[in-house]
Structures are given as C-alpha cells and as structure tokens.
Chains A and B, each alone.
Chain A
Amino acid sequence: MITWRALMQPHRIVLMALFIGMIIWCAVALRWDWIPQYAPLAIQGLWRTIWILVVTTVLGFLLAIPLGLAQAVGPWYLSAPARIFCTVIRGTPLLLQIWLLYYGLGSLFPQIPWIRGSELWPYLRQAWPYAVLALTLSYAGYEGEVMRGAFSGVNKGQLEAANAFGMPRFTMFRRIWLPQAIRNVLPTLGGETILQLKATPLVATITVVEIYSVSSRVRSDTFIVYEPLLLLAVFYMIIAGIITLMFRRIEKQVPGR
C-alpha cells in the first residue's frame, strides 16, 4: 500500500498539484450542466452494470469449476468438449459472441411461432438474459482455463491421503481439492473480474441500459462528446479500484501456504 510518507515526496506533490489543477480546469472549462438531468438515469445504469458484473462473475465461476475439473482430470469425452469450449470462447471476440446470441437467436424466433406463446417469452423479449448468458459463458471460458491449472496444482499426496482414510469422493472434492484450487486462483481472480468489468459496456450494443449506454444517450441528446466519456472513465476506474481492494482483503483473510 502507498503510505502517507511515500506520497509526500516533492515530485509527487508537484504531480498532485498538476493533477488537481487539471481537474479544476476540467470542472470550469468543460460543460457539466447536463449532469443533474441525467443523474437518476446514470445511477440506474451504474446499478445495472454492477448487477450484471456480480451475477455473471458468480455464475461464470460456478460454471468454470466443472470446466476446469473436466479438463484437469476428466475422461476424454468430458475434457475434449470443455477444451473446445474454452478455445472457442477465448479465440473469438466477445462482441461477436454477444451479437450471435442476441441477433442470431432473434432471427430464429419468427420461424418458431409457438415460442411467442410460451412462458419464457417475456424473458426472451428482454435483452438482459442474452447479456447475462454471453458474459457468463465468456467468464467461464477464461476462468475454466485458469481453474484447470489450479486443480492440477493441488498436491496429489493430500488427495491420496484422504482417499486412504476412506473419505467419500465428493467430501474430498469439497473439503480438500476445491478450497485449495480456489486459493491457487485467488491472486488472478481480481484481475479477471476487472477484465469482466471492462467487458460489460459491450452489452449496450444489444439495448441493455447500463452506465455506458447512459453516456451514449447524453452524447446523442446534447451532442456533448468528451465530458460524459471522461466521467464514465472515472466511474470505471473507481469500480476497478474497489474490486482490487476487495480482493486484497479477501486474499489477506485466506491463510497462505
């Protein structure tokens, strides 16, 4: 962590003064009169961004566990599909995946008339289920690869010992294997979550109203280009900072090796 003393070096004071000067210049010289009008919308958007981020990382991680396990120790008929899934997800742009899911599936609906009468239809009409699905699969694809390494990295001797004591296989997985694998990936998890945060604005292209799309709305309504984008960048930096701090705290609470 940066200490107070480290901040108080002369060149840093100059840098900070310059930085504060820049902020004051931005506040005075640029146009911010649109903020009060769009603030409620922005807060809604921010909430939606965080909601999507949390839901997709949790679901994605849950999906990554079987993917990693299948690749690490699974028989070929499980490990091959898992490996192909991870390769395809990691090898193609997320934007393309989102569009394929949303517009590709959308183009099928007119050919399947009964779907509009089904109970699922109110959800299929919304954009967010597609956004959540696409981002979840993407996170699972990247994290599944990481989990593969994490499962292989657990000391085999421990598993053999548990086996020798007659521990049931699932208990062994739950009490010994999984916790250690998660501890192995913990240092990378924060970074992966920030990458996921940076992927969320892409869902604005399929009409999900999150914080990025609010800035587009401001731009299209008022023709102010830079100010909403700058503010948006600041928002993302704050969220990324919070994620970093959160994972640092979690990491501290987990006992080391």
Chain B
Amino acid sequence: MDLILETLGLAKSAELLSLSPPGWGSNLLRGLANSLQIAFGAFGFGLVIGLFGAYGKLYGGVVMRDLLAIYTTVIRAVPELVLILILYYVGTDLINQASQAMGYGRVEISGVVAGIWVLGIVQGAYSTEVLRGAIQAVPPGQIEAARAFGMPPLMLMRRVTIPAMMSFATPGLANLWLIATKDTALLAIVGFSELTLETRQAAASTRAYFTFFLAAGALYLIVTLCSGAVFARIEKWARRGQRSLRSGER
C-alpha cells in the first residue's frame, strides 16, 4: 500500500489526510459530521414548514395564501448567501431581544441550531412548493372518500394524503436534500466550522490546496451518491403498487 502511494507521489497527501495528527483527516470528518447534522436538521425543519405551508396554500384562507406566496417568492428570489447573513444576524438578535423583553435573559444559540434554523427557513420555501404539487397530484376522490367516512383531518393527513403523495414528492424532496447538503457549505461564510471551512483551514495551514479541496469534494460526492441510492429505494417503496412510470419512456 505504502509503495503504491509512494510511486504515485501521493504519500504526502495520504499523510496530510490521515486521521490522527499531524494528519487533518479527523478535522475534515468532524466538519462533515457538522454539515450532515445541519443538513439533516434543516431538511427536517424545512419539511415541517413545507407541510404546513402546502396545506396553508391549498386550504388556507386568502390572507394565509397571500402571505405564503410572499414567503416562497422572496426566499426563492434572494441568494441563499444573503438570506443566511440576514437570518443569522437578525434572527439571533431578535430572539435574544424578545427573550430579554419577556424577562428570560439571553438564549444560547449554538452554531448548529442557528444553521438549522437559517437553512430550514430557506428549505421550507422549496418544500412548500414540492409538497403542494404532490398533494395536488393525489386523486381528489381518495380524500373525498375519507372525508365522507368522517375521518378527522389529522388522521386523513396521516393515513391518506401523506402516503398517497409520497411517490409524487420523493423526487423533489431528494433534490431538496441534495441542495441542503450543498447549502451547508455557505455557512463557512459566517464562520461555522462545517466541512468547507474545515477544509479551507486545513488547506491554508498546510498549503496543500489541491489535496484538501479534492478530498472534501470526494466526501461531498460520496454523500450525494449514497443519498441518491437511498432516495431511489424510498421512491421504489413509495411507488409500490403503482404502475411503473418509467416503462413507457424508452
């Protein structure tokens, strides 16, 4: 193994990337863990917002619908970087002021929570649209039938709407998850030590820019490809019992 690395001139890179100091591998992996944690949290938070947003857009009152339209339009037109800066500084400031006004003192907001909340709001706008489209694609007869049997709204959502829309929502949600993992890189700009910032610090300290940026790229790519495979399985599962849409294509 060592011999192969030596001959390829990669011995130095392997040393720099090794998991124990003086290698920087463990720093990169810790950054990756942070990135994934935030991506996961933001994706989940976004799904919750998206579910309520989609219901609000479809069944809410006129005011609710207009407000949601403003939310999704604004978030989708402004660069994530700008939104992150605004939400990161304004958000924590507002929360602290509110909590102090109510007499609770300062709220500790860790970097992870701030990241989740900032990216979650951005994700929420996109998942609102994805889920709205998916709910609309559910044959209305199924929902009406459940209503006719007197199913309460929450149970209707849990038992009928969500399972039936899953197959329509999965491709869009898979895309959103990939956006979430890549958007965590933007938190490097506010100094949160996720994978991209850890990479830059390692690269700057060792001057081995190519080694570290390529290594980080490979890590992101592995995450992308693995989640692609996972979502393909989820989609297959969500489509069970449905006629394959793909067979007609080729």
Q: Which of A187-207 contact B (CB under 8 A)?
A: 194, 197-202, 205
Q: Is B89 an interface residue (CB 8 A)?
A: yes
Contacts of A9 on B, CB cut-off 8 Å? 62
**Contact yes or no, A237 B217, CB < 8 A:** no
Q: Which of B101-109, B159-167, B181-189 contacts A (4 or more CB under 8 A)?
A: B181-189
Contacts of A92 on B, CB cut-off 8 Å? 182, 217, 220-221, 224
Contacts of B47 on A, CB cut-off 8 Å? none
The A interface is mostly helix, strand or loop, or mixed, namely helix
**Contact yes or no, B200 A99, CB < 8 A:** yes
Interface size class of B (residues with CB under 8 A): 35 or more
User: Which of B66, B78, B220, B225 has the largest count of A CB atoms less than 10 A from its CB?
Assistant: B78
Q: Is B207 an interface residue (CB 8 A)?
A: yes
Q: How far is the CB of B227 from chain A (nearest CB, A)?
A: 10
Q: How far is the CB of A248 from chain B (nearest CB, A)?
A: 15
A-side interface residues, number (CB < 8 Å): 40
Q: How far is the CB of A21 from chain B (nearest CB, A)?
A: 15
**A-to-B contact residues, CB < 8 Å:** 9, 11-12, 15, 87-88, 90-97, 99-100, 103-104, 106-108, 194, 197-202, 205, 212, 225-226, 229-230, 232-233, 236-237, 240-241
**Contact yes or no, A103 B80, CB < 8 A:** no
Q: Is B213 an interface residue (CB 8 A)?
A: yes
Q: Is B193 an interface residue (CB 8 A)?
A: no
**Contact yes or no, A96 B74, CB < 8 A:** no
**Contact yes or no, A103 B203, CB < 8 A:** yes
Question: Once bound together, how far apart are the Cα atoms of A87 and B186, in whole Å?
Answer: 20
Given contacts A91-B221, A226-B89, contact A96 B213 (CB under 8 A): yes
B181's closest neighbor in chain A, by CB?
Answer: A93
Partner pick for B185 among A11, A91, A95, A240, CB 8 A cutoff:
A95
A88's closest neighbor in chain B, by CB?
Answer: B221
